[in-house]
Amino acid sequence: MSENNTIEAHLRSEAVNVWFGERHVLQDVSLTFPVNQVTALIGPSGCGKSTFLRTLNRMHELIPSAGFAGRVLLDGQDIYEPSIDPTDVRIKIGMVFQKPNPFPTMSIKDNVLSGLKLSGRRGYDASELVETSLRRASIWNEVKDRLGEPATSLSGGQQQRLCIARSLAMNPEVLLMDEPCSALDPGSTRRIEETIEELSDSMTIVIVTHNMQQAQRVSHQTAFFLAEDSNPGGVVEFGKTEDVFNNPADSRTNDYVNGHFG
């Protein structure tokens, strides 16, 4: 496994291990996520990519049997320290899920503001924040005259960008994305990828994807995860995306990115 340790680390995992009950599912994952870059996590189903993604904002803790060892550092602060509130972590490190999940009983506008209201934040200009968040998620022009309509009136791709806007309204430092385009058509996928590219100018993004072309299009660096036989998942190779895909150091990486398994 290779890693460039000279880059400025915004988010970093150190020897992350995860268990679900007695089952060891992720072993010794140490990765660095630089400021204003997109990192793609690739690998076959069941190798621990999404589990690892959820450790980066402590969402895996919502599963009662989950166990954890290691450290995750955001700007040098271990988010797993006992004094740290997981809710505060999830505000700083937002998450966009595989399937769009807007609140169906809320309007488009109220969906954008829902996280702020739930967290008790005050003192913001709602109209300005809604517009800014929707613009950053590349959906403002499509919904600016429909803000009072239910979120479910939007297409699947629009709902996913609304969910991105909802996360952005919280002004996160990092955005985690778990296969955000897997349920979308090619046109919506293209819009999401354009949004990711634009957002990476102002935040750190980590994306799980099974789409090798997408990983090459949107990411600056890539980590290849693999779980072999009955062993826990782990990172086989980590480096610049162009190197991982065009000149991989490990034969297993070469076989995976060229479609020989997975």
Residue recorded with tokens 């989950």: 66
pTM exceeds 0.95, yes or no: no
Domain containing 149: what range? Answer: 9-257
Within a domain: residue 262? no
Domain presence at residue 69:
yes
Question: What contacts 233, CB < 8 A, 6 or more positions away?
Answer: 25, 26, 27, 43, 46, 47, 48, 49, 51, 52, 225, 226, 227
Q: Domain count for the chain, please give it.
A: 1
For the chain, the first-to-last Cα distance in angstroms comes to 20
Cβ within 8 Å of residue 223, ≥6 positions away: 31, 39, 40, 41, 42, 235, 237, 238
If one counts every other C-beta atom within 10 angstroms of the C-beta of residue 85, the result is 10
Evaluate whether residue 88 is within a structural domain. Answer: yes
* CA 64/CA 49 separation, integer angstroms: 19
Q: What is the CATH number of the domain that holds 80?
A: 3.40.50.300
Residue pLDDT tens, the chain, 262 long: 334 444 455 899 999 999 999 999 999 999 999 999 999 999 999 999 999 999 999 999 999 999 999 999 999 999 999 999 999 999 999 999 999 999 999 999 999 999 888 887 778 899 999 999 999 999 999 999 999 999 999 999 999 999 999 999 999 999 999 999 998 999 999 999 999 999 999 999 999 999 999 999 999 999 999 999 889 999 999 999 999 999 999 999 999 999 988 7
d(CA 1, CA 104): 44
Is 4 inside a domain boundary? no
Q: Please give the Cα distance from 217 to 239 (Å, whole number).
A: 15
Look up tokens 């968040």; give the residue.
133
Is 193 part of any domain?
yes
- Residue 157 inside a domain? The answer is yes
Per DSSP, the three-state class of 237 is strand
Domain contains 2: no
Is 1 among the domain residues?
no
